[in-house]
């Protein structure tokens, strides 16, 4: 059994990667002549993710049969490189944490692949899209399953690359390409943090004792506290890049330039949660330095607040969802920051369902409205798109934290842990953000689906998308509705299955609080939800025209001009310095000696060419001269 | 006995293939395509036989029959594999070349097989007369191959120069053999090494003189300074696939026997280290200077071949005679062989009828018209220039690090400097291919073999770079 599971571990990431190569090659071979039918690509594209998903369930099932303390499976595919004592294997590890991630990544990944068949049906480079998507899923699985930081980093960079490729997918439009560039460059800054953190960790304990999670965890106590803090913070810099936290969150809203399934898969459900996963993965380090956790939690909750403010004033349906993603990611970091790792990961899990659902729903709205994304031009769609409306409603209720939808349980768990672990400030902001979330989510629902249609002709042509798109929506809606019960709180007589399951992987700090405190925290969340939704109802349920922002609203609508600020403070000076080097320093200073050397060498070459006379007698003379010289020298040594 | 048979089987297969092709061509009716396929099969079979003949250590096949004249070691086996692969890919790219150029006959492929059998024998030789005979089997076949296009004046010029200077060299070799025989009463390597061990190298004047002449002959064959001058003209005159074959297979065979001879005794090697040190430096920099001045691709590649000989001489200086494995030398030879064969395979279908595209400028804008060929050529050039992650880079890395281990830091540094200088002419072609507008269509009437051969070799450049070597 265990052996089979280990075998699967190697195959799980391989399946989509093979798919990517096959589809990619077929696309490259045929892109000039007659293209192969889309149906063929559609089948090929879904095989890898679905097979991986089935194997992921089997790995999960096998893992469950093992005793709790032995729930760890490692498969070393091959030795990647070995330098001196250091040996890094291409190893894959399944433990409760990675198995949980594995399950929803493959499951939601498969659903989104199916959905994309419908969404991308008219695309000219259908195959290219699926090659990228498969490549993404393969990289994400490497990230999740990697048995050490190095293998994780391979996946980390792989998903970053795919994210870039897919954001700039509609590359006829320059702004999309620029959005892709922005995502890539901002992520590089985060990656630098990751690499540095990894290097410090290696320097500290990895060099002599093995550099995989199992060894690192066993040796974490050897790392001096100051060094641990540095490592934790540097790794968190990496996480802020990938998971769009302050100050590196700016790329995610722009990333909505990509096709909507991409936004759902990469920029909501899976890749952006990699940072949270990483922090939970390194919980054995964060547990040693509470200061690091505190910083993570505060950055997370402030990001949640900031992007919730932005979210309230957006008029692009995907931008609303993008800011809500940033905001929810902030919650997750708040969760892992206050040492409630299982709560944070549980929110990753539920969020993957309801946010993927909302994005796919938004996708089907956009599809129905012929690529219109401005919510103020929609309105009244609930009659036209009943399935989309109902499923999105489920997603919205889950996102805003309405009991008993999944988001309620996971968000409440985080807020309660923050409160019980003594972070009252974080808890208060968290509750406030919960209210704001309910407000902007239902503002979107009301404006899009309720009221009167703003654009009559588009409204008349709108129709429910085909079954390949609606069925995934329904499945995800069921997930968004029920996923929360997996971690049904003890307060209601539940068993907190997810927390128990994750217990061997993460070092949770379990708060001891009275039931009354828990009731109070829950009550506050529900109250915030009700207030938020009520305000949205009063303001938008009847249908309103596109508002004109002024004052603070205008300031928030323009995202506090943070992009412009970054541009002014960082990008422009950097460009100026670069241009200076390019225009003056490079040609005049560094290139001078180079040009001179090249000139001299060129001259020498021409001079040397002269001795290649082409006369065979000259060549024989060279030989004789050389021969004589060497024999002369040798005769010297003999004496 | 079975093992002895298996060890000599590749040689037998190639020799039999050569004779059969020659006989068949006398009867006629064998098409050129069929002949190239037959010779490819022969090389492939021999290659497989060579791999299957697995052996560890030193074995003298049929020692009593041949009186220990032949010796098979891991070193010679791998050298044999490289030579057989060179033969295979040369036959493959020749097929495409002769779609455009009509001077081939079936004997052409027979001669390549003869040359390869000579080379295989040369790697295994443990006796000077055997070495001389196999050297001549190889050389004579190649003289004919160089001058195969009888209507072409430059070919006639090339073969004449090569033949005259080669005869010169043959005379040196026999002279050396005679001196050694006079001094030791034997021409066997084992006798030489026993004699040196007993008396010390410098106390045997006949041996010092004999070794000197023989080493000079080897230096001529690998085109080391100052015996390099012929290379540029001969490579330029020979047809493209033959040039590729000479540049790779011949160099591998001669370096194998050279290393075998030099490593007979630490005394012999240490007496020569100083000379090889200066010869290596002069070869690298002289070759670079010649290459920079060239405008013709083949001449540039010939001159760059001189530079690569210089690197291999560094490896010869650096290896230890006590524990000789030759892995670094073989790795570099293999890396150099795939890159060089690759670029000649690409040229064999790109140069067109009568090799009309031969100058750097003729390849302007190739990347726009034939992106895959241009990409493959770029891979080969980068490998020759030693850019990671290609085989050429790893080969240079191993050579440089073995030089540092042997305490030859000067050689290592000069090797790196030379490698930087060589970018000049390698990148020049890449710039021409990618940064200029095409002036023609680069249409050629080639078979599928040439491009396939190029593709395989381009993949091999990366595959070989992954193969680990212990220095």
Whether A601 and chain B come into contact, CB under 8 Å, resolves to: yes
Q: Write the pLDDT tens digit of every residue in A254-306.
A: 999 889 999 999 988 899 999 999 999 999 999 888 899 999 999 999 999 99
**Rounded distance between C-alpha atoms, residue A214 and residue A218, angstroms:** 6
Check B226 against A625: CB less than 8 A apart. yes
All residues of chain B having their beta carbon less than 8 Å from the beta carbon of residue A32 are none
Percent of residues in chain A assigned helix, strand, coil, to nearest 5: 75, 5, 20
The pLDDT tens digits for A306-365 are 999 999 988 899 999 999 999 999 999 999 999 889 899 999 999 999 999 999 999 999
Only one residue has tokens 């591998």, namely B252
Short-list A500, A498, A504, A505, CA closest to A103: A498
Is the predicted pLDDT of residue A472 greater than 80, yes or no?
yes
Element (H, E) at A81: strand A73-83
Closest residue to A605, CB basis, from B168, B229, B293: B293
Query: Which among A273, A401, A259, A252 has a CA at the least distance from the CA of A323?
Result: A252
Task: Return d(Cα B62, Cα B60) in angstroms, integer.
Answer: 6
Residue A400 has pLDDT above 80, yes or no: yes
**Cα(B57)–Cα(A212) distance, rounded to whole angstroms?**
40
Q: Rounded distance, CA A262 to CA B244, Å?
A: 50
B424: contact with A, CB 8 A cutoff:
yes
Listed by start position, the domains of chain B span 2-466
Is B164 an interface residue toward A (CB < 8 Å)? yes
Contact at CB, A604 and B160, closer than 8 angstroms: no
**pLDDT tens, B194-234?**
998 888 888 888 888 999 999 999 999 999 988 888 898 89
Predicted ipTM?
0.83
Averaged pLDDT, B22-38: 87
Helix B266-292 vs helix A616-638: crossing angle, to nearest 10: 150
Report d(CA B125, CA A527) in Å as an integer.
93
Total CB pairs under 8 A between chain A and B: 70
Which residues of chain B from 227 to 256 reach within 8 Å of chain A, CB to CB?
Answer: 227, 229-230, 232-233
Q: What is the pLDDT of residues B286-309, one digit of tens each?
A: 899 888 888 889 999 999 999 999
pLDDT in tens, A215-232: 888 888 888 889 999 999
Sorted by sequence, the CB contacts under 8 Å of residue A211 that are 6+ apart come out as: A86, A88, A148, A149, A150, A202
The answer to whether A622 contacts chain B (CB < 8 Å) is yes
pLDDT confidence of residue B333 = 94
Please answer yes or no on whether A612 and B292 come within 8 Å at the CB atom.
no
| Chain A, nearest residue to B418 by Cα | A601
Q: Do A634 and B212 touch (CB under 8 A)?
A: yes
| A368 vs B19: CA distance, rounded Å | 76
B224-262 pLDDT tens trace: 988 888 898 899 889 999 999 999 999 999 999 999 999
Q: Which residues in chain B are closer than 8 Å to A607, comparing Cβ atoms?
A: 289
Q: Which residue of B271, B292, B294 is in closest CB contact with A601?
A: B292
pLDDT above 80 (res A625): yes
Indicate the average pLDDT of chain A. Answer: 88
Please state the length of chain A. 639
Comparing CB atoms, the residue among B161, B294, B421 nearest residue A601 is: B421
Burial zone of A122 (CB within 10 Å; 0-12 exposed, 13-18 middle, 19+ buried)? exposed
B168 touches chain A (CB under 8 A): yes
Let me know: does A90 contact A78? Beta carbons within 8 Å. Answer: yes
Label residue B471 by pLDDT band (50, 70, 90).
Answer: low
d(CA B164, nearest CA chain A) in Å: 8
- In chain A, which residues have their Cβ closer than 8 Å to the Cβ of B275? 630, 633-634
B168 contacts on A by Cβ (under 8 Å): 620, 623
Q: What's the pTM?
A: 0.70
């Amino acid at each position: 059994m265990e052996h089979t599971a280990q075998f699967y571990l190697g195959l799980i990431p391989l399946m989509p990667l093979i798919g990517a190569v096959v589809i990619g090659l077929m696309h490259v071979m045929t892109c000039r002549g007659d293209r192969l039918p889309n149906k063929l690509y559609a089948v090929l594209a879904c095989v890898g993710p679905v097979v991986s998903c089935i194997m992921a369930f089997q790995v999960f099932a096998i893992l469950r049969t093992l005793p709790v303390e032995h729930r760890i499976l490692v498969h070393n595919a091959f030795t990647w490189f070995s330098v001196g004592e250091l040996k890094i294997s291409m190893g894959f590890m399944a433990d409760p944490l990675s198995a949980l991630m594995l399950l929803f990544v493959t499951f939601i990944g498969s659903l989104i692949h199916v959905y994309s068949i419908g969404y991308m049906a008219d695309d000219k480079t259908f195959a290219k899209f699926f090659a990228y998507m498969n490549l993404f899923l393969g990289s994400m699985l490497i990230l999740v399953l990697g048995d050490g930081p190095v293998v994780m980093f391979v996946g980390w960079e792989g998903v970053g690359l795919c994210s870039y490729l897919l954001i700039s997918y509609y590359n006829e439009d320059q702004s999309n390409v620029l959005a892709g560039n922005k995502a890539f460059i901002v992520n590089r800054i985060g990656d630098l943090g990751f690499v540095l953190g990894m290097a410090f960790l290696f320097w500290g304990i990895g060099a002599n004792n093995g550099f995989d999670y199992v060894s690192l965890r066993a040796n974490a106590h050897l790392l001096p506290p100051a060094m641990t803090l540095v490592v934790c913070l540097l790794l968190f810099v990496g996480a802020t890049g990938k998971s769009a936290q302050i100050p590196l969150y700016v790329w995610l809203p722009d990333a909505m330039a990509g096709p909507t399934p991409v936004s759902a898969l990469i920029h909501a459900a899976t890749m952006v949660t990699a940072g949270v996963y990483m922090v939970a993965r390194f919980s054995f380090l964060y547990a040693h330095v509470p200061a690091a956790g505190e910083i993570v939690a505060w950055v997370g909750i402030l990001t949640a607040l900031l992007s919730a403010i932005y979210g309230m004033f957006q008029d692009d349906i995907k931008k609303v969802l993008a800011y809500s993603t940033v905001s929810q990611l902030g919650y997750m970091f708040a969760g892992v920051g206050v040492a409630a790792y299982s709560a944070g990961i549980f929110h990753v899990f539920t969020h993957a369902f309801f946010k993927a659902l909302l994005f796919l729903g938004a996708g089907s709205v956009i599809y129905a409205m012929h690529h219109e994304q401005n919510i103020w031009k929609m309105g009244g769609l609930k009659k036209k798109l009943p399935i989309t409306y109902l499923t999105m409603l489920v997603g919205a209720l889950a996102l805003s934290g309405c009991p008993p939808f999944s988001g309620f349980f996971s968000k409440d768990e985080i807020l309660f842990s923050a409160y019980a672990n003594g972070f009252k400030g974080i808890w208060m902001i968290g509750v406030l953000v919960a209210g704001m979330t309910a407000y902007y989510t239902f503002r979107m629902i009301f404006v899009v689906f309720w009221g009167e249609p703003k654009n009559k002709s588009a409204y008349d042509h709108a129709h429910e998308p085909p079954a390949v798109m609606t069925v995934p929506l329904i499945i995800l809606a069921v997930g968004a509705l029920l996923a929360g019960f997996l971690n049904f709180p003890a307060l209601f007589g539940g068993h907190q299955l997810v927390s128990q399951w994750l217990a061997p992987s993460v070092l949770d700090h379990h708060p001891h609080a009275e039931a009354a405190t828990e009731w109070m925290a829950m009550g506050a969340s529900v109250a915030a939800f009700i207030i938020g939704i009520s305000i949205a109802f009063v303001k938008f349920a009847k249908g309103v025209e596109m508002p004109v922002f002024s004052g603070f609203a205008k300031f928030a609508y323009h995202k506090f001009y943070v992009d412009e600020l970054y541009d002014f403070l960082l990008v422009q000076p950097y460009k100026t310095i670069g241009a200076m080097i390019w225009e003056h320093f490079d040609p005049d200073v560094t290139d001078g000696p180079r040009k001179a050397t090249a000139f001299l060498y060129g001259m020498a070459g021409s001079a040397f060419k002269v001795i290649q006379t082409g006369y065979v007698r000259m060549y024989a003379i060279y030989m004789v001269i050389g021969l004589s010289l060497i024999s002369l020298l040798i005769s010297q040594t003999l004496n | 006995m079975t093992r002895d048979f298996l060890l000599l089987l590749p040689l037998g297969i190639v020799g039999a293939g050569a004779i059969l092709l020659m006989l068949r061509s006398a009867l006629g009716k064998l098409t050129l395509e069929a002949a190239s396929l037959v010779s490819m099969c022969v090389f492939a079979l021999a290659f497989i036989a060579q791999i299957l003949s697995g052996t560890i250590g030193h074995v003298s096949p049929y020692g009593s029959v041949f009186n220990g004249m032949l010796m098979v070691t891991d070193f010679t086996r791998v050298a044999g594999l490289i030579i057989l692969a060179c033969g295979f890919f040369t036959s493959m790219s020749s097929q495409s070349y002769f779609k455009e150029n009509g001077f081939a006959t079936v004997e052409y492929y027979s001669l390549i097989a003869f040359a390869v059998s000579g080379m295989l024998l040369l790697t295994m030789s443990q006796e000077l007369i055997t070495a001389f005979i196999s050297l001549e089997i190889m050389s004579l076949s190649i003289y004919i191959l160089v001058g195969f296009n009888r209507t072409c004046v430059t070919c006639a010029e090339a073969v004449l120069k090569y033949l005259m200077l080669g005869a010169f060299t043959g005379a040196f070799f026999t002279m050396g053999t005679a001196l050694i025989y006079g001094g030791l009463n034997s021409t066997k390597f084992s006798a030489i090494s026993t004699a040196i061990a007993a008396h010390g190298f410098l106390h045997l004047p006949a041996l010092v003189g004999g070794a000197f002449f023989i080493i000079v002959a080897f230096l001529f064959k690998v085109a080391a300074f100052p015996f390099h001058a012929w290379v540029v003209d001969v490579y330029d005159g020979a047809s493209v696939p033959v040039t590729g074959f000479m540049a790779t297979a011949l160099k591998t065979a001669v370096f194998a026997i050279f290393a075998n001879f030099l490593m007979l005794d630490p005394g012999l090697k240490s007496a020569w280290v100083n000379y090889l040190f200066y010869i290596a430096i002069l070869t690298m920099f002289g070759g670079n200077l010649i290459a920079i001045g060239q405008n013709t691709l083949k001449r540039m590649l010939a001159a760059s071949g001189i530079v690569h000989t210089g690197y291999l001489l560094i490896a010869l200086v650096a290896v230890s005679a006590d524990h000789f494995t030759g892995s670094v030398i073989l790795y570099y030879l293999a890396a150099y062989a795939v890159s060089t064969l690759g670029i000649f395979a690409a040229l064999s279908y790109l140069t067109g009828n009568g090799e009309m595209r031969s100058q750097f400028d003729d390849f302007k804008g190739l990347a726009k018209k034939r992106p895959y060929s241009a990409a493959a050529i770029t891979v080969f050039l980068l490998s020759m220039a030693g850019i990671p992650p290609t085989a050429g880079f790893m080969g240079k890395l191993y050579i440089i690090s073995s030089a540092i281990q042997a305490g030859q830091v000067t050689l290592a540094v000069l090797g790196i400097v030379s490698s930087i200088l060589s970018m000049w002419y390698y990148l020049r072609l890449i710039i021409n291919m990618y940064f200029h507008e095409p002036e023609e269509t680069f249409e050629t009437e080639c078979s599928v073999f040439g491009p396939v051969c190029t593709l395989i070799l381009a993949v091999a450049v990366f595959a070989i770079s992954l193969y680990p070597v212990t220095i």
